[in-house]
Structure 1
Amino acid sequence: MNDMPEPHAEAAAHAANSGLVRDFGLLIKSATRLEQRIDAALRRDCGISHTMLEVLIRLCRRPGEEVSQRQLADDLTLTSSGTTRLIDRMEGAGLVRRVPSPEDRRVALVEPTTEGRTTFLRAAAVHAHVVEEFFVRPLAADDYSRLTGALSEIDKALREAAD
């Protein structure tokens, strides 16, 4: 290691320590840690992953709605093959079943089983407990309201930019 600083080393250090980098990193770290806590609690108490819960949320949101694997992949931002493997595991666990689409025989629809709905209700309670403890409770009510409002605005801006 030589005593001469590399070109741009100071500028790079300044950029790496900027408030924007720090603040966004804090958001990502907090979201990741919360997701890890949720996933661990769901695996321990319900035997499912957080991603499986996300599938069950989507399938249980509107009873009777026909949801294809393709829609699940899009909604959950998973690859088609990743979604297929996930649904295979969930089907093997008795949580969901594939049924042929009445409109298009090439399309498989996914629906929750009775066991899937029962598991979902247990998992939703576990999820709510962890979210309450680590996302809601640490903040004053006004701060929580401002945070969720700000996150909604960020999401809106990102959706509009994607259109």
Structure 2
Amino acid sequence: MGAESPKRTAAAAAGGPLVREFGLLLRAATHIEQRINAAMRAEVGIGHVMFEVLIHLCRDPDEQVSQRALAQNLVLTSGGVTRLIDRMEEAGLVRRVPSPDDRRVTLVEATEEGEKTFLHAVDVHARIVDRYFVAPVTADDRRRLTTSLDQIITALRDDGTPGTPEG
């Protein structure tokens, strides 16, 4: 009997617990996000990324949000966020305003139509999240999961490594 073949070694690695567990997390998140996106497009006329922008803009009505901050929070390039805000502005969901503090900075705010659209999207989001994130697990399991995810995000933020949320 010779050494184990590279094919078998690779197969064992692909079936390893860390690969499997992280894969489950990614698949679950991706499938839920796809359901949210499809429902929002069908019922509200916006995609999940536009919804994420509206979350940032509606979370604190007194906060001024720059395009740069949106790009960082949404992990988009500056060009990507510019095109996204262009589309949202054309749809009447947001408007750009000059910063009163720095004329080089453009701020983005939700319009009244954007706020109405956001509230409709929140209902769609809640329905999908309830069906696929809340209903399948117990409240205790969901609480443990969200606590664990928060700890993971904190570890990434505190790490400072390039490619992490704060690195």
TM-score normalised over the length of structure 1: 0.93
Map 1:1-163 onto structure 2 (within 5 A): 8-162=6-160
Residue 6 (structure 1) shift: 9.6
SS class of match (1:99): strand
- The verdict on how the C-alpha distance between 1:108 and 1:141 changes in structure 2, with shifts beyond 3 A counting, is same
Could you tell me which amino acid in structure 1 is paired with residue 91 of structure 2? Answer: A
| Superposition RMSD in Å | 1.5
SS class of match (2:124): helix
Residue 126 (structure 1) shift: 0.7
1: CA distance between counterparts of 2:90 and 2:137? 40
1:91-136 Cα offsets, whole Å, 9 max, x none, are: 0000000011112222111000000000001101110111011001
Q: Percent identity?
A: 60
Could you tell me which amino acid in structure 1 is paired with residue 88 of structure 2? Answer: M
TM-score normalised over the length of structure 2: 0.91
Which structure ranks higher in relative contact order (CA pairs < 8 Å, sequence separation ≥ 6)? 1
2: CA distance between counterparts of 1:29 and 1:121? 27
2: CA distance between counterparts of 1:37 and 1:106? 38
SS class of match (1:65): coil
SS class of match (1:110): strand
2: CA distance between counterparts of 1:143 and 1:151? 12
Residue 64 (structure 1) shift: 2.0
Unaligned runs of 5+ residues in structure 2 are 161-166
SS class of match (1:111): strand
1: CA distance between counterparts of 2:141 and 2:105? 45
Provide the aligned length of Structure 1 versus Structure 2: 159
Unaligned runs of 5+ residues in structure 1 are none
Could you tell me which amino acid in structure 1 is paired with residue 109 of structure 2? Answer: E
Could you tell me which amino acid in structure 2 is paired with residue 78 of structure 1? Answer: L
1:28-49 Cα offsets, whole Å, 9 max, x none, are: 0110000000000110110000
